[in-house]
Structure 1
Amino acid sequence: MVARPALAVARAPELTGILLTLVAMGMFGTMDGLSKALVQSYPPQLVLWLRYLMALPLVILALAPRHPLVAMRQTRAFKLQLLRCLFLIVETGLVITAFKTLPLANAHSIFAVTPLVVTALSFFFLGEQVGWRRWTAVAIGFVGVLIILRPGLMPLGRDMAFIVVAMLLYATYMVLTRLVARVDAADTSYLLQSILMVLMLSLMGPFFLTPIALRHIPLLVLLGVLGAAGHYFLVQALALAPAVVVQPFTYTLLLWAVGIGYLFFGDLPDVWTGVGASLVVGAGLYAAWREHRRRAIPA
């Protein structure tokens, strides 16, 4: 009789982590919709710079006990922190550029394979064990990507090529983040990333500065708020629940992409994109389940 309440208490942090993940995915989906709308009127480089510039004060406020200079001193892997920020800048720049013409759902169908790519890269660069079942899931995920891209049957196109490269860059960024997490606290990495992103983008963004319409200023502010809050909620979710618990719920971002793309831009993925995305998501969910089982066995 006592076991059930105890189990419920034990699972309470995980449920909170799942809820925060769902909220974060909604914020990211809305943020991508805003980015797609804004790059119709402004250079992608400007939108990217203003997004991180608007977000930085909120990040510093959220992590007020950690002064920016403290974060600089506390990191024990500054070069890796700098490298992961460079990967993230190029990745985000490619994605925002592709959003100008590419439907959100098509882009996120490719990005859904990221966890599987991280699994493969972790085997080679982090020395993590990957069993044949998860390798099979990785292979099925890539088959799903091939169905979406249909090489040889239709031209790849510049924007879809950008998304594929961006996905690989983001997967590498995730591996670097896991590597940095071995020596730096999550708050330190988050604050340092926000500062470095603004500093590096400030070397480029001002050169693309153009007059901004008054009606777009609230959208740019909202873009920064959603980015800062979404990443913060995701960090908190991972602090409350293991990644294998949180990861399956990140696929709800694809639902947001489909809904926002249809409601505001009139975009709907074709049948083959839907089939490929289903394979990618299914393979990712299976890989997450296998990881959960693997971690549960010693207990």
Structure 2
Amino acid sequence: MSTPSSTPDTTPLTPPQALNRDRPMKGIAFMLAAGLLFCMLDTGVKTLAQDYSPVQVVWARYVGHMLVLTGYLVYLGRGPGMAMLKTSSLGGQFVRGLLLLGASTFAYLAFRTLPILQVYVINFSSPLLVTLLAIPLLKERVGWRQWLAILVGFGGVVICVGPVDWRANPAILLPFGLTACFALYQLSTRRFGREDHPLTSLFYAGLAGALVSSAVVPAFWTPVALGDLPLFVFVGLMGAASQLTLILAMRYAPASLVSPFLYLQIVWAALFGFLFFGDVPRPETWIGAALISAAGITLALTRGRDR
């Protein structure tokens, strides 16, 4: 995995103005990477949530996030490291962090009882919310071909979920809280994180989550077994890496373009769910995956043609 300093576009000394331009293919590539890293993160989270409170796992995710990032800022030195703390919108960055914390909390509560794939396919409706909200909030324009592609993708999500008995399994409602928070988080990343360096956005997102989760985790604390420590560390590392790639994706391309590529997480979620938890996807899952992937590709190819 590339480090933040492995390319001239993301070195700490690169002026934010030099990064403030759209590069659609880079945005798509970073979003695809984010999807894989999120699946790796959530596999670790689901494993830990079987024995520990999801609140404690959320805390570990954000504290690990901050330890990794703070260590890197110290490594950069006082000048460059302090420069990473400068933001054009401190309040906006904390709003981002709180929305991400909300999304993480809903997700981790859901992972305790639901398959990763089931949580994901419900959350895959977030690009539709992003597209709807990006029009008034970000002044983005979406053409009719893109609308059609998004509807097809949403149809794929419905096929993947299948019939659900909400009363028998109320936990299925948790991913909808995740969906709302995550859609707003993506939009706020595009709105407040565009003028700041990616590491700045990553720092404040982690800081907000670490502060709030640290305040409440004592009420949910369970002593951590020595053998589980590496998995807690892994969750922290994957939390930082997945958010960095998401930030870069939203920086380089409009939210309405890159968000649907998170649909491809369905492939990783099905694979990891089977390998680690024995979850066997239904045939409808693969039909939905085909529709979702086709919708994402169509969105990329038709961008700008019918505006």
- Normalised-by-shorter TM-score class: 0.7 to 0.9
Residue 154 (structure 1) aligned with residue 169 (structure 2): no
**Aligned position for 2:301:** 289
- 1:215 CA displacement: 0.8
- 1:90 CA displacement: 1.5
* Whole-angstrom CA distance in 1 between matches of 2:260 and 2:288: 17
- 1:16 CA displacement: 7.8
**Aligned position for 1:189:** 201
Distance 1:288 1:120, change over 3 A: farther
The percent identity for this pair of structures is 33
Distance 1:285 1:62, change over 3 A: farther
Distance 1:270 1:47, change over 3 A: same
Candidates 257, 270, 295, aligned match of 2:269: 257
Distance 1:284 1:160, change over 3 A: farther
Contact 2:54 2:109 in 1 (8 A): yes
**Aligned position for 1:29:** 39
- Please, what is the CA RMSD of the aligned residues? 3.0
- 1:141 CA displacement: 2.9
**Aligned position for 1:179:** 191
Contact 1:120 1:135 in 2 (8 A): no
Q: Secondary structure at the match of 1:202?
A: helix
Tell me the alpha carbon deviations over residues 155-198 of structure 1, each in whole angstroms, 9 at most, x when there is no partner. 13323221122112201111111111354343322211111211
Contact 1:106 1:273 in 2 (8 A): no
* Whole-angstrom CA distance in 2 between matches of 1:120 and 1:258: 28
Residue 121 (structure 1) aligned with residue 136 (structure 2): no
- 1:246 CA displacement: 6.3
Number of residue pairs aligned between Structure 1 and Structure 2: 277
**Aligned position for 1:267:** 279
**Aligned position for 2:94:** 82
* Whole-angstrom CA distance in 1 between matches of 2:218 and 2:120: 29
Tell me the alpha carbon deviations over residues 245-295 of structure 1, each in whole angstroms, 9 at most, x when there is no partner. 86676444322211110011110222334333433333233223222x549
* Whole-angstrom CA distance in 2 between matches of 1:271 and 1:176: 36
* Whole-angstrom CA distance in 2 between matches of 1:258 and 1:288: 24
Pairing 1:1-299 to 2, within 5 Å after superposition: 23-63=33-73, 64=76, 65-67=80-82, 71=85, 74-150=86-162, 153-156=163-166, 157-235=169-247, 242=253, 250-291=262-303, 293-294=304-305
Contact 2:97 2:207 in 1 (8 A): no
- Structure 2 counterpart of 1:271, one-letter code: P
- 1:236 CA displacement: 5.1
Q: Secondary structure at the match of 2:187?
A: helix
Q: TM-score, normalised by structure 2?
A: 0.78
- Structure 1 counterpart of 2:134, one-letter code: S
* Whole-angstrom CA distance in 2 between matches of 1:144 and 1:164: 17
- My pick for the range that moved more, 127-136 or 17-26, is 17-26
- 1:206 CA displacement: 2.2
